[in-house]
Structures are given as structure tokens and as C-alpha cells.
Amino acid sequence: MRPMKQARPIRVLLLLAAAAASQAVSAHDPRPEILAPGWGLLSYEAPAPGTYRLPPIMPAADGRVLREDATPAHLFDLMGDRLVLLSFVYTRCTDVNGCPLAKAVFHLLRARLKQHPELAGSTRLISLSFDPDNDTPEAMRAYRPKTEDDRVEWRFLTTRDRADLQPILDGYGQYTLREYDEHGVYTGEFAHLLRVFLIDRERRVRNIYSTGFLHPDILMNDLETLLPESPSG
């Protein structure tokens, strides 16, 4: 397939996002290896929206969460009647191919969605922490990008404790493992696979993106593919 051409502003956003991620990991690794295609231009032309199908994979999972203002809610209620992209993150992640990638790709996608008002109004981005011991609602507020845009809703959620979190993680098959040093002391880091879930209006998972597949071009085309579906579709 032929290389995909991108507008100059997207190139600038990609460079800025990659630079920010590199700074975030410099304290642990001064020369992070950027492996994910999401940090650059897509090397192939993604299939055009509507030229392919996204069959349901599994039901989405509900659960008790906390909003940024610390008020309780259920995850499904916050999804509403929108198409949802759900990422599991933790704010202290330093892996440039992990949580910082998910945040940067969502940031780039939001910039793209601004140019498509109907799709922007039908989409909701959710970043949910899997580290409730450290990621309080206040921490999630601080994790939010500084630039805001009411046209594209992006929620930053956590949970009250791991008892509330675990059923959500189990429902999505999102497994995490605490990392310990040679003395058996928890380092504050998690081993985890980056996974982002595309959820339709019927609360069904329609795609799951890993590090090698998470790119704003692909997310955009998948959202446009699902947009024409009716709530019962």
C-alpha cells in the first residue's frame, strides 16, 4: 500500500508529543527506544472508513469509578450514548511505548476530531487509572492535558480502591503486575500490556488496540466506520 500523506500541523503535533514523552522517561532512561508507530506517521494507508466491518468482540464491562471531582459514578453512566475509547493507564508510567503513548495518541486524535464536529460530539475518550493507591481524583486532574476543548470530551477516572478496580480489569482482560526491586520493595511501577478499547453505543467492544496498532489514523477511521450505526446496530 502507498504511504499516507499527512498535513504539516499533524507532523508538528507528532513531534511535540514524542518530545514530551521522551522528557517524561528521561529520569529512568535517558535514551528511550520509541517503538510504537503511534509516535510517527503511519507507514501505510489505513483502509477507508466504511470499507470494512468491526464485528463485536465481547461485552464491555461496567464498574464503580470516581470522577475527577471525587464523586462516585458507574463507568457505563459516564460512557452515555457515545462511541468510547477507553485506555487503562497510571500516571507514574515512564514507558514511552505504554501509558504516555496512549495519552499522546488521544491528544492527537482529539485534535483531529475537532475538524469533524459530528464525530466529536458522538465520541468520548476515557483514561482510567489502574493505580488507585496513588492516582487519586486530584492526581487524575493533574494528569489531564493543559489544553481543554469542550467539543471533545475526555474523562480522567480512578477508583476508590482495588476492590472496585479489579472487576473492571477482569472484565476487559487488562492485567497488571506490581514490580519489586531485589529487596522485595515495591518500586511504584507496573508491568502491563497497553490496551485501548473501542466501545460502541451498545456497550460492546469493537476493537482492541495494542502498542503496535495504536495510531490516530486508525482510531479515526474506526470511529467513522461505527458512526453511522444506529443504537440497535
What is the structure's pLDDT at 15?
37
What is the structure's pLDDT at 48?
94
What is the structure's pLDDT at 4?
39
Write the pLDDT tens digit of every residue in 78-135.
999 999 999 999 999 988 889 999 999 999 999 999 999 999 999 999 999 999 999 9
The more confidently predicted of residues 36 and 159 is 159
Sign of CA dihedral 158, 164, 170, 175: positive
> Does some domain include residue 3?
no
What is the structure's pLDDT at 104?
94
Q: Which three cell numbers stand for residue 208?
A: 482492541
- Between strands 72-74 and 64-66, the pairing is antiparallel
What is the structure's pLDDT at 166?
96
CATH of the domain at 196: 3.40.30.10
Whether the per-residue pLDDT at 139 is higher than 50: the answer is yes
Whether the per-residue pLDDT at 68 is higher than 50: the answer is yes
Find all residues with CB under 8 Å of 110, minimum gap 6, and list them. Answer: 125, 149, 152, 154
* Number of domains within the chain: 1
Write the pLDDT tens digit of every residue in 29-53.
444 565 677 777 888 888 999 999 9
Residue ranges making up the domain that contains 90: 8-41+60-226
